[in-house]
A and B are shown apart, each in its own frame.
Chain A
Amino acid sequence: MRRRPGIGGLQTAAAARNQYRVLGENVAKLRTDLMKEQLATFRSQLEEFARKHKNDIRKNPSFRSQFHEMCAKVGVDPLASNKGFWAELLGIGDFYYELGVQIVEICLATRPLNGGLIDLQELCKLLRQKRKHDREAVSEDDCLRAISKLKTLGSGFEVISAGKKKLVRSVPTELNKDHNAILELAQAQGYVTVDEVEKQLSWTHGHAIDALDTLLDEGLVMVDDGHRDGKRRYWFPCVSSISSFGADG
């Protein structure tokens, strides 16, 4: 395109820009159509997959977790929205959202007992009891995924690791490193004493008392002063096995 000086040149340049813009829009439109087509193909492929394997996904937890891993690698989130193809065709959304709601209910029911912190295995057990009429098996991995989705709703739903156990938190209480350390310690016997904490974690007396008191405030720990040796024991319902009774329903 030869550049011409003067008004004519400017007009030509403007016309050229306009043409490019229109062309660009057309190209974009083409890409939109292409996208639509691709989407339709993808959808039909997914339908085919669902037709053959929808049952496998529902019945087989290890296949389910494999499926999720692959989705994550590719960069799609099958649980992102109810409207997604995944939820619609594979029915995978309902499964996890229902699971999420049930988990919330269980956490709410056991909160008076354990203060909002529950062992993941305990949760799974209660969940299976609740779901014993459904014939679909629920694995820990499923629970973890459901909880990770619930996190977005605030209120502190989260899975934390304390030592060997995984605990599900359902209250907005912040648990820092100190609290985690105490929780780990408590897994041995279900309780800790101040001396234990001081000795095992090499803390000062004040530090130990402070951390234990915070946990007490939040209702995560119960005080037991009834032992003969007079030492106060701090019991953690979430890591000991005493939390199973009384929490049914």
Chain B
Amino acid sequence: MSNFFSKAEVTSSGRPVFLRNEVECHLLSGVDFEPEDHLQFPPLKSGILILTTHRLLWLPSSSATAPTSASAIPLAAISHIFSSKKSLKSVFHSPRIRFQVLVSPDGRVFDPGSGSDYSSGSGSRSVVVTAVIRGKGDCDGFLVKFCDSWRAKAWESNETSGSGSGSGSGLASGSGAGTGTGGGLYSSDGSVRMVGVAGILRKEQEMWESTDKSLQDAFQDLNALMSKAKEMVTLAEKMRQKLLSGTSSQTSGNNDEDMGSKEEMQDWLLSVGIISPVTKESAGALYHQQLSRQLADFVRTPLERAGGMINLIDAYCLFNRARGTELISPDDMLKACSLWEKFDVPVMLRKFDSGVMVIQNKSHSDEEVFARIKSLATKPEALRNGVSPTDAAMTLGIAPAMAKEHLLTAESKGLLCRDISPDGFRFYINLFPEIDPCNIYFVKDFGICSTWIKAVSTSG
């Protein structure tokens, strides 16, 4: 065995002994090492090439008869890695990796651990070594990892901590299984671990580079998609015009199939993402019709629980939560609710003056609610302190926001009077109708006024 290479220690089962913090990165089988000219060392044939963070190891395969022991080239000794040139010849040859190794004056591969200063120009020469990969390994991937490891210079950070990265120091744990210990630049799977600020910056850089590239592709694709979408939009506009004007020109006999195709068209427009108007005749997209019925069924239970009236937004949240996936959009919800008036369902959509929209039972009657509010407002407690939306909510069994709407509506009907204070809104029973404008101090014996006076005066 030539004494060109450094010696690499091997365990009894043939695995290399790793140095402290050295981690295996890649492995290729069926590799020959050939020098540029045969004087430096006889070629090593058909071995296993192991790339670690610190060294390049060549292990003889077990089939080799010659007692060649494992060899190592410290990465520190490598001065240049040639990029693979793809030429016509390279198609026929096995892939090759060429790199330049510094050689110390005595003809051996330079050993950085030996303490000599190679940059002192003591006549160091370099030799080009070629690794021919005859096996089936991933040569390009190996090359990339090789360059990464070489550039990462893992041995330098170890030298500063005084552990020494020279070959054969024998400090490595006997496991040789390639697991790196804590600390150091590399994590156990051989990828460059990110430590310190440099690590963070590197991680950011890598993330940006990979995102950047995929984003570029994404934007190109997005542009192509959008131009297609534009075509769809122009086509859809024509369709929509037809929809809007279609009914007037058709004779009554064709109406059924027109309905069908109109619904289809609505569906298509919806698929592309164009909100189309629900025309008076058509019932909108088939999808919305189905949704509308489904919603009517669903909303029955929450309505009962909420006392007959539920805020549209609350219903939306409940419905979507129940669905779990394939949630509906707010537009879907609104459309579906608006379609109720075309179908025979027991619920309806109602819009208050304040803009709040609620779903309520068709059987719900405002009168009944007012009667309950009135009875609430004429209780002695309420005569003294008024009714706040929360009180009403508790008594009526509905949400406070709904209760407020009811109280406001009752007020507009003349049933209640509002009292605004830093506490908020409070409502009192309206006594004005009972007061005779001609005789304002006269209190009738019946009626709420007297009850009120009694209640108020007893509070002291």
* B274 neighbours in A (Cβ, 8 Å): 75-77, 80
B330 in contact with A149 (CB, 8 Å): yes
B275 in contact with A155 (CB, 8 Å): no
* A49 neighbours in B (Cβ, 8 Å): 221-222, 225
A28 in contact with B331 (CB, 8 Å): no
Among residues 1 to 49 in chain A, which have CB atoms less than 8 Å away from a CB atom of chain B?
28, 31-32, 34-36, 38-39, 41-43, 45-46, 48-49
A-B contact pairs, 5 of them (CB 8 A): A35-B236, A35-B268, A43-B271, A81-B331, A101-B327
What's the minimum C-beta distance from A53 to chain B, rounded to whole angstroms? Answer: 5
Give Cα A63–Cα B217 distance, bound, in whole angstroms.
12
B interface, over-half SS: helix
* A153 neighbours in B (Cβ, 8 Å): 312-313, 316, 330, 333-334, 357
The answer to whether B214 has its CB under 8 Å from any CB of chain A is yes
Q: Which 3 A-B pairs have the closest CB atoms?
A: A154-B357, A76-B273, A97-B327
Question: How many residues on the B side are at the interface (Cβ–Cβ under 8 A)?
Answer: 63
Give Cα A49–Cα B275 distance, bound, in whole angstroms.
23
Binds A, one of B167-175, B181-189, B417-425: B417-425
A84 in contact with B312 (CB, 8 Å): no
What's the minimum C-beta distance from B316 to chain A, rounded to whole angstroms? Answer: 6
The answer to whether B85 has its CB under 8 Å from any CB of chain A is no
B232 in contact with A39 (CB, 8 Å): yes
The answer to whether B356 has its CB under 8 Å from any CB of chain A is yes
A172 in contact with B329 (CB, 8 Å): no
What's the minimum C-beta distance from A46 to chain B, rounded to whole angstroms? Answer: 7
B228 in contact with A45 (CB, 8 Å): yes
The answer to whether B272 has its CB under 8 Å from any CB of chain A is yes
Question: How many residues on the A side are at the interface (Cβ–Cβ under 8 A)?
Answer: 63
* B329 neighbours in A (Cβ, 8 Å): 79-82, 87, 93, 96-97, 149
Give Cα A76–Cα B275 distance, bound, in whole angstroms.
8
Give Cα A216–Cα B334 distance, bound, in whole angstroms.
32
Partner of B313, one of A71, A77, A157: A157
The answer to whether B354 has its CB under 8 Å from any CB of chain A is yes
The answer to whether A164 has its CB under 8 Å from any CB of chain B is no
The answer to whether B1 has its CB under 8 Å from any CB of chain A is no
A155 in contact with B311 (CB, 8 Å): yes
The answer to whether B177 has its CB under 8 Å from any CB of chain A is no
Q: A49-B225, A97-B328 are in contact. Are A60 and B215 (CB under 8 A)?
A: yes
Among residues 405 to 438 in chain B, which have CB atoms less than 8 Å away from a CB atom of chain A?
420, 422, 424-425
B327 in contact with A60 (CB, 8 Å): no
Among residues 209 to 230 in chain A, which have CB atoms less than 8 Å away from a CB atom of chain B?
213, 216-217, 219, 223
* B224 neighbours in A (Cβ, 8 Å): 45
A80 in contact with B214 (CB, 8 Å): no
B311 in contact with A74 (CB, 8 Å): no
B interface list, Cβ under 8 A from A:
211, 214-215, 217-219, 221-226, 228-233, 235-236, 238-239, 242, 261, 264-265, 267-268, 270-275, 285, 287, 311-313, 316-317, 320-321, 325-334, 351, 354-357, 401, 420, 422, 424-425
Give Cα A153–Cα B315 distance, bound, in whole angstroms.
10
A42 in contact with B215 (CB, 8 Å): no
* A87 neighbours in B (Cβ, 8 Å): 329
A97 in contact with B272 (CB, 8 Å): no
The answer to whether A200 has its CB under 8 Å from any CB of chain B is no
Partner of A85, one of B271, B313, B331: B271
B351 in contact with A154 (CB, 8 Å): yes
Give Cα A156–Cα B405 distance, bound, in whole angstroms.
14
Give Cα A76–Cα B230 distance, bound, in whole angstroms.
8
Q: A52-B218, A77-B275, A81-B270 are in contact. Are A28 and B313 (CB under 8 A)?
A: no
B330 in contact with A172 (CB, 8 Å): no
* B275 neighbours in A (Cβ, 8 Å): 77, 80-81
Give Cα A104–Cα B333 distance, bound, in whole angstroms.
15
Which of B235, B313, B330 has its CB near the most chain A CB atoms (within 10 A)? B330
What's the minimum C-beta distance from A24 to chain B, rounded to whole angstroms? Answer: 9
B222 in contact with A84 (CB, 8 Å): no
The answer to whether A78 has its CB under 8 Å from any CB of chain B is yes
B226 in contact with A149 (CB, 8 Å): no
A42 in contact with B232 (CB, 8 Å): yes
What's the minimum C-beta distance from A97 to chain B, rounded to whole angstroms? Answer: 4
Per-residue B-contact encoding for A214-249, CB less than 8 Å = 1, 0 else: 001101000100000000000000000000000000
Among residues 65 to 106 in chain A, which have CB atoms less than 8 Å away from a CB atom of chain B?
66-67, 70-71, 73-87, 93-94, 96-98, 100-101, 104-105
